[in-house]
Amino acid sequence: MRPRIGIIAGAGDMPQRVITACAEQGLDPFVIGLRHQADPDALTSSPNAWIRLGEAGRGLELLREAGVREVVLVGAVSRPSLVSLMPDARTAMFIVAAGRSFFRDGSILTAIAKALEEEGFTVVAPERFAEALLVEARLYSAAEPDAEARADVARGVDVARTLGALDVGQAVIVQDGAIIGVEAAEGTDALITRCADLVHDGSGAVLVKVCKPGQDRRIDLPTIGPRTVRRAADSGLRGIAVEAGGALIVDADAVGRAAVETGLFVIGIEPPDRT
């Protein structure tokens, strides 16, 4: 009998997509929802347990009791303060091991993955159980990027890769070659909203999302969904480019419909210098 799959669910719609995909394959995943991170309304399949981010010891115990060997980390995890984290002894140990970097972008999930592996679990990518979630190198919309938009996409890839190497973020917004916004700790939705007043008349701006250089592609991949498309349209953007094979898409059909409704282009791209 195949060992049970464990899913640790953070924020957004992606955790439920992975849970559903597992169920469609006849798997019965053991799901742990992260309190104050995962949205209960987004998880139509009720998690088997809820824990705080600081309860690593209890989480490890639950996974073992459920017979889990492989674990999927899916969904966004925001950075808590040390006070709100209220770490148990096991969590405190890997915070000390990670040092200050624990509270940088992406480092929380990296620390969780490392702690799981040190305890004998195998961390696997979400798309292993749901290949349709991985962005393909293709157009998802009726609208296509013109030459100006493609130049902005190329500029965005260069800048996002440079900033990503510094662990700054995974997304930038570009218009006419100028960077008008960079993703920070607040996430992509907040970046798009923040840049609404900065988009000037003309061709419109482009959102570019790519992996950070050297990023562990099992966790924290860039993600877009229909909400991203609508928010981008509301903020005056003309399109979205996201890394094929290095990003996740929540409901590709819904993304396509949202793109048609809003007139935006949405495209999966293959950066030339992927590392």
Residue pointed to by tokens 């017979």 = 67
Residue pointed to by tokens 């210098």 = 273
Is the pLDDT reported for residue 185 higher than 70? yes
Phi-psi category of residue 260: left, alpha or beta, with phi > 0 → left and psi -120 to 50 → alpha = alpha
pLDDT of 254 reads 96
pLDDT of 104 reads 58
Length of the chain as a residue count: 275
Mean pLDDT of the chain: 88
Instruction: Tell me how far apart the alpha carbons of residues 228 and 247 are, in angstroms, rounded to a whole number.
Output: 14
* DSSP 8-class letter at 131: G
Instruction: Tell me how far apart the alpha carbons of residues 123 and 216 are, in angstroms, rounded to a whole number.
Output: 11
pLDDT of 81 reads 66
> Beta strands 4-9 and 223-224: pairing type?
unpaired
Residue pointed to by tokens 């309190």 = 35
- All structural domains of the chain: 4-130 (3.40.50.20), 134-269 (3.40.140.80)
- Give the pTM: 0.85
Question: Which residue from 4, 55, 5, 6 is spatially nearest to 34, judged by alpha carbons?
Answer: 55
Is the pLDDT reported for residue 106 higher than 60? no
Joined tokens for residue 163 = 């900033």
pLDDT of 193 reads 93
Is the pLDDT reported for residue 112 higher than 80? yes
Instruction: Tell me how far apart the alpha carbons of residues 203 and 211 are, in angstroms, rounded to a whole number.
Output: 26
The confidence band for 108, taking pLDDT boundaries of 50, 70 and 90, is confident
148-163 pLDDT, tens digit each:
999 999 999 999 999 8
Instruction: Tell me how far apart the alpha carbons of residues 195 and 90 are, in angstroms, rounded to a whole number.
Output: 40
219-272 pLDDT, tens digit each:
888 899 999 999 999 999 999 999 999 999 999 999 999 999 999 999 999 976
pLDDT of 275 reads 47
194-234 pLDDT, tens digit each:
999 999 887 889 999 999 888 888 888 889 999 999 999 99
At residue 123, φ and ψ (nearest 5 deg) are -90, 125
Mean pLDDT, to the nearest integer, of 81-87?
70
Is the pLDDT reported for residue 142 higher than 70? yes
